[in-house]
Amino acid sequence: MTARARSLCAGASLLACAGQAASLQAAQPALVSPPAVAVDVTVTHLVVQPDGSQSLSAPPTAFTLERRHTPSGWTTVMVYRRAPAGAIPTPLDGARIEYADGARGVKVYDQDGRLNPRLSLEGERGLAVPDGAAAWLDALVADPRHAEDRLLALRRRYGAPAGRIRGLHRFVAQNGDRTREVLADARTGVVTESSVTLDGELQERTRFEYQRRADGSLFRHTIRTEYAQEQPGQGRAIVTMAFDNLTVGSGR
């Protein structure tokens, strides 16, 4: 697989990030029912060596992630920005990726706007993305009116909290030798951390950071996931997704 194809697969998988993040907490009534949602996303990939030194494992990528309503239904669109002058270009500079709700394919367009049939994914290789704009927005913005709904959903999924850590509710799910631990704010019900251990060894940890908006809602502006490398002694891989310039409405 070429570097461009690998970058496409990594980038296209972000189309499903809202649904994956939302699965950790309650499905909630939408904050709004918008005709459009847009947010700027920057993704960085780091490798942390056992001695603590850090290095980029790939150039950062930046794109605008949008939900657009068309006569045929909702579409998710990722438009990659070109690298600034002097920076290392990324394989997806200027490319556009589109996914239509209900379809199982992902279309990729090159910088010149032409469909790239080699990189587009067809049929079952497509991605499952939450339909509509409301479910998509719920993964980014937590309505303060539905804190109890989020906590109840966590209880339904994981059972009663197994105590508290740093004032946060601690939920635990065991599946054989695999353990998932979720920490959630006791007042707002938002998930702040999720981790997976296997045979007692940490395999993955994701931390979520929020910004409070003027209406009291919480905007999930950073998702930072740390992975254990496959071979012992190879350090850790860290992927950070930063969200900015959230727009809700028809103005974008």
State how far the Cα of 97 lies from the Cα of 78, in Å rounded to an integer.
Answer: 5
pLDDT in the model for residue 250 = 57
What is the tens place of the pLDDT at every residue in 152-200?
Answer: 999 999 999 999 999 999 999 999 999 999 999 999 999 999 999 998 8
SS3 category, 216: coil
Q: Is 239 helix (H, G, I), strand (E, B) or coil?
A: strand
Alpha-carbon span 30 to 20, nearest angstrom: 17
pLDDT at residue 76 in the model: 86
Maximum average pLDDT range among 12-26, 78-92, 109-123: 109-123
Domains and CATH numbers, the chain: 3-248 (2.50.20)
Determine the longest span between alpha carbons in the chain, in angstroms.
55
Of the listed ranges 153-167, 168-182, 215-229, 230-244, the least confidently predicted one is 230-244
Both tokens of 203, joined, read 């395999």
Residue 95 has pLDDT above 70, yes or no: yes
Q: How far apart are CA 126 and CA 104, in angstroms?
A: 4
- The predicted pLDDT at position 116 comes to 86
